[in-house]
Each structure stands twice: as C-alpha cells, then as structure tokens.
Structure 1
C-alpha cells in the first residue's frame, strides 16, 4: 500500500511541476522543461523514502532497492512521456 501511495504522490508532484511550468512559462515548452526537471528531483525524494525504510523501518538496502526502482520508474516514465509529448506538439 505504501508503494502505491508513494507513486501516487510522485504523479501528483509531477502535476504540480507541470502546473508551475505553465504558470511561469505559459507554453508547452515550459511545461515539458518542468516535467524534465521533475525526474532528478523525484529520484532524490524516492531515495529519501528508501533511506527511511532502511534506517527506521528495519528493512535492508537489498529489500528496499526493488521498491526504490519501482517508486522511481512509474512517475519518471510518466514524466518522460509527458515531456516528449509536450515538446513535440499536439
């Protein structure tokens, strides 16, 4: 359940990034740029989530690593597809 919540949080954070891209840039290019900026920042957030799992929840890094990859992959793939779609027009 926690993995689903983290991935949902990532997609919501992506939506906020794209919204701010629109508000600050007013174009699809700015929204695509915001989606591209989301990816490395989301990797840091997911890594912090892994650290909490290892340091406080009692999991090993080996147990948490596949979860980290899943938590990164779903929102990052959505962001990459959205950035590609926005940068290539409709």
Structure 2
C-alpha cells in the first residue's frame, strides 16, 4: 500500500511540474517590444512618455510612488527612470 501511494504522489508531482513548465514560457517571455503598463501615480509627481519601444519615467518630485498593472519589459524594449537628483 505504501509503495503505490508513493508512486501516486510521484505521478501527481510530475504532472504539476509539467503543467508549470508548459505555462512558464507564456508568463516569462513578454513580446520583444513589450513595455510596462502604469496604473497610476499614487504619490508625488511623475509622468510616463512612450516612444516606440522606449519608455521614460520622469519623476518630478523627490519621492514618488507608482502603481503598475504589469512591469514586463521585452527583450528589445527599454525603460529609463529619470529622477531629480541622487537623493530621490
């Protein structure tokens, strides 16, 4: 009884691992030009400018809090954070 139960657990673990590996490429690899999606600036002052596959996040206040819907950056995309000074 113990052996068949352990074989069942191994089979179940294998299926779970296989399912995770099948889904991982869909999650882990954004399209090459993918950029993050900003939901809102929660505190401080900041703006986002997008040109092609480049995003500039321009922070105008010393402190800012940004809430992102996602932060996926594709292999050919670029995100730059511009802050007022080194203490920001």
Question: What is the TM-score normalised by the length of structure 1?
Answer: 0.29
Higher strand share: 2
Relative CO higher for 1 or 2, CA cutoff 8 Å, sep ≥ 6? 1
Which structure has more helix as a fraction of its residues?
A: 1
- Which structure's CA Rg is the greater one? 2
Question: TM-score of the superposition, structure 2-length normalised?
Answer: 0.30
